[in-house]
Amino acid sequence: MGFQESLEKNQFTITAEIAPPKGTDVSKMMGHADKLKGRVHGINVTDNQSSVMRLGSLAACHLLKDAGFDPIYQITCRDRNRLALQSELLSATVLGIRNVLVLTGDHPKMGDHPQAKPVFDLDSTQLLRVIGQLNQGRDISTRSMNKTLPTLSNGAALEGSTDLFPGAVANPEVDPLEPHLLRFSKKVSAGARFFQTQAVYDLVKFERFMKYADDLGARILAGILLLRSPAMARYLNRNVPGITVPDILIKEMESSANPLETGIKIASRLIRQVQGMCAGVHIMAIGLEEKIPDILDEAGL
Amino acid sequence: MIITRQKPFSEIRDLLQEKRKVFLIGCSLCATACQSGGEEQVLEMKDRLTGEGKEVLGYAVLEAVCNVLNSKKELRQKKAELAQTQAILVMSCGAGVQTIAELQNVPVLAALDTLFLGNVKRFGQFEERCSLCGECILNKTGGICPVTTCSKGLLNGPCGGMSNGKCEVDPDKDCAWVKIYERLKAIGKIEAIEEIFAPRDYSKDAKPQGLALKKDLVLKK
């Protein structure tokens, strides 16, 4: 069953993330995908993740689609203006890709080309609106330059519309939460039909977030990030905005003879804990995709 | 004001190369406040270049180098020196450099890098708050500009890079959207950012821009 169908049938939906290679050899990426066959409903493909140049997300999604997977095409606003973004979404449609995860994207300064021009012509909320419009068979073009603010209400008719299933990201643990929730609700009203969250570790915060999300009727897939070592957990805390691995989990890994094994246990435990609370989980194994089946086994999924 | 900073002296030395006779131009406004091209810095530059074996024929700190007509007038008094010089080193913003390049037929060189339109926080401390986008939205954002003070220029923030109210690009910098949120909440206007801001109209920011005030418009004032 595909990703959208699973969500719409209110099944507990599982997605996992894989990253395209820095280069043209896709064998490792396809190998990772193979390990996920029959275990997940959709596979996210990152778009120049962390502003590091890699093989394109769209091409990788196309390969996954051909190999029988249901890809979730991640598209950021960092590298393309509104012409390129719309064009990419048309391209995705003709390649049979339906699920799109819209992100604003990390700043180029965070990556391996810090001197690159940051684009951010649109932000993720605006891009969600654009997708809504493309799905209705119109682009966002405008010939009139006299308006005080450009709107998305006009646009030219397309020869064939898109049929995209748009989603977005959210972070239940961000501090301060209030301005983030405001943006989250804007994304809901801009047409996000599912959300994949940043790594969840604090269930109290997650519950608080879910209360808000449920009120808006948003479908949430909780982010599950596989910890492989105490050092990695500390690295995340120091360097990745919005991720906080609690000390108690770091200690649990430190006292373990096999930290990765413990990381898998923590991930599967978190999955079981959020299972009754949200629509599904989104697993990020960051290079250890072959361990995802172990996490799912351990979680009984 | 326009914030400028002197290029490294080694770069200026390389720029001048075989040019022995040099004329210096500074600016009495922004570059003076930035201590990059006021009279003091012009005289300093004169000394350093003299020390490098250059002959500094003269200098002028113009009232506002960006004012083409005024600068032309002021430079008339330096006609003799300018006729002999092999290069003019301009210690003003990029607009000023281009004024001089338009007026003089010798190589005109920029001694400064032009950084941004800045607020003066206190003496010698400048901060960018406006990026001259041509489409001011400050009325909706509590007087805080996200186009400039959000590192991504987002209109619907904060982004996922915000952490503890700070920016992913520079953890010393406040997240513009958290500040906007707090400000609007404090003045009871949070609904101003509940709407989704439409994409910006970059045609209003198309380079190069020009503006000619109509006569009647000027007279009305």
CA B156 and chain centroid, separation? 27
Domains and CATH numbers, chain A: 3-299 (3.20.20.220)
pTM to 2 decimal places: 0.94
Assess whether B16 and B107 both reside in one domain: yes
B198, A149 Cβ separation under 8 angstroms: yes
Q: Which of B88, B116, B144 is the last residue of a domain?
A: B116
The residue-averaged pLDDT of A124-152 equals 78
Residues of B in contact with A145 (CB under 8 A): 201, 203-204
Assess whether B106 and B145 both reside in one domain: no
- Which portions of chain B are predicted below pLDDT 70? 215-221
Check residue B216 and give its pLDDT. 61
Check residue A151 and give its pLDDT. 53
B143 domain residue, yes or no: yes
Tens of pLDDT, residues A243-279: 999 999 999 999 999 999 999 999 999 999 999 999 9
CATH number at B91 reads 3.40.50.2300
Q: Which domain holds residue B186?
A: 134-197
Choose the closest CB to B154 out of A123, A150, A152.
A123
Assess whether B143 and B183 both reside in one domain: yes
The residue-averaged pLDDT of A227-252 equals 93
The residue-averaged pLDDT of A186-203 equals 97
Assess whether B34 and B88 both reside in one domain: yes
CA distances from A123 to A62, A106, A120, A165, B62 (A): 25, 12, 6, 18, 44
Check residue A150 and give its pLDDT. 46
Q: Do A110 and B152 lie within an 8 Å CB cutoff?
A: no
- Structural domains counted in chain B: 2
C-alpha A208/C-alpha A222 separation (Å) is 13
Percent of chain A with pLDDT over 70: 96
Tens of pLDDT, residues B68-112: 999 999 999 999 999 999 999 999 999 999 999 999 999 999 999
C-alpha B153/C-alpha B193 separation (Å) is 15
In chain B, which residue's Cα lies nearest the Cα of A122? B199
A130 forms beta bridges with: none
Assess whether B150 and B102 both reside in one domain: no
Check residue B49 and give its pLDDT. 98
- H-helix or E-strand containing A239? helix A230-239
B210 domain residue, yes or no: no
B84 domain residue, yes or no: yes
Assess whether B95 and B9 both reside in one domain: yes
Assess whether B143 and B87 both reside in one domain: no
B154 domain residue, yes or no: yes
Q: Do B198 and A150 lie within an 8 Å CB cutoff?
A: yes
Phi, psi values for residue A112, rounded to 5°: -95, 0
B190 domain residue, yes or no: yes
The strand ranges marked E within chain A are 13-18, 42-45, 71-76, 99-103, 165-170, 194-199, 220-225, 280-284
B78 domain residue, yes or no: yes
A109, A110, A126, best to mutate vs chain B, most B CBs in 10 Å = A126
C-alpha A172/C-alpha A207 separation (Å) is 9
The residue-averaged pLDDT of A33-40 equals 96
B48 domain residue, yes or no: yes
Check residue A240 and give its pLDDT. 85
Tens of pLDDT, residues A207-226: 999 999 999 999 999 999 99
Assess whether B90 and B163 both reside in one domain: no
Q: Higher-confidence residue: A1 or A93? A: A93
Check residue A149 and give its pLDDT. 43
Interface TM-score (ipTM) > 0.95: no
Choose the closest CB to A129 out of B157, B196, B203.
B196
Check residue A241 and give its pLDDT. 79
Check residue A148 and give its pLDDT. 41
B213 domain residue, yes or no: no
Tens of pLDDT, residues A142-189: 864 444 444 555 788 999 999 999 999 999 999 999 999 999 999 999
Assess whether B143 and B105 both reside in one domain: no
Assess whether B17 and B93 both reside in one domain: yes
Assess whether B156 and B88 both reside in one domain: no
Assess whether B36 and B80 both reside in one domain: yes
